[in-house]
Amino acid sequence: MARQAAYPAILKFEEKYGDEIYIVQSEDEVNRVAVAKIRERYANGWYPKVSDYEEDLNRALDQLISQFELDPEKTPRSLEALSKLKGANEEESVAALFGMDVATLKALPASMSEKLIDKAKLFVKKFNSTIREYSSEIEDARDIELIVHSEKAHELTKEYRGRTTNLARWILSSRQDHEYENYEIDQPQLPPTVEQIEAGRL
């Protein structure tokens, strides 16, 4: 028995108080429903704003900087700023991070300078981890706000690993593991034609 083409199809959202079901006739309709659903959820406060995530990131960086007893005014707060801080060698990088010149670092007893170098390495590792932890959330929040505020938002796309996909559907798919945010597209079979039924007669 022949299966139908991709559309019409059933688009189902698994909502908290029951499923929400749409009959969609094309990719464009799926994209438009996706945009409408994202805007509805944003208006209802489902999605944190970019500013919320940035505030959380800044608080996490404040705690990290305080933990390592660094100068909050001079310590980098982005990967770009951290890379600019790095010197020609390890000693220059460590000295810059702790706000001292290389000569002062070299004048320290070997045990102290080694501890500072190890401390700097641990800070950089935790710093990178903290930035990575928030970067994907901030990027998704920016994409959501772009959808919320853009004209023809259903036409926006996203590049990922060499593939182009609709931005709104990307957001929905990336959040499917969140509570009450799962959705699926079912493409049912067409009923058999008279000719198909006759072809199967014994």
Write the DSSP assignment of the chain as a string of letters. Answer: -PPP-S-SEEEEEEETTEEEEEEE-SHHHHHHHHHHHHHHHHHTT-S--HHHHHHHHHHHHHHHHHHTT--TTTS--SHHHHHHH--SSHHHHHHHHTT--HHHHHHS-HHHHHHHHHHHHHHHHHHHHHHHHHHHHHHHHHHHHHHHH-TTGGG-EEEETTEEEEHHHHHHHHTTTSTT--EEEE-PPPPPPHHHHHHT--
State yes or no: pLDDT of 2 exceeds 80. Answer: no
Task: Over range 137-147, report the average pLDDT.
Answer: 96
The percent of residues above 70 in pLDDT, for the chain, comes to 97
What gap in Å lies between CA 171 and CA 148, rounded to an integer?
Answer: 12
Residue 156 has pLDDT above 80, yes or no: yes
pLDDT at residue 168, as a whole number: 97
pLDDT at 177 over 60: yes
Task: Quote the pLDDT of residue 48.
Answer: 93
The mean pLDDT value for 116-120 works out to 93
Question: Greater confidence, 112 or 191?
Answer: 112
Give the residue-averaged pLDDT of 15-32.
Answer: 91
Q: Please report the pLDDT score of residue 4 as a whole number.
A: 43
Mean pLDDT of the chain: 90
pLDDT at 51: 96
pLDDT confidence of 192, banded at 50, 70, 90? confident
Section 54-63 average pLDDT = 96
Predicted confidence (pLDDT) at residue 5 exceeds the cutoff of 60: no
The Cα 87–Cα 95 span in angstroms is 9
Amino acid identity, residue 141? A
Domain ranges of the chain: 9-49+148-199, 50-141
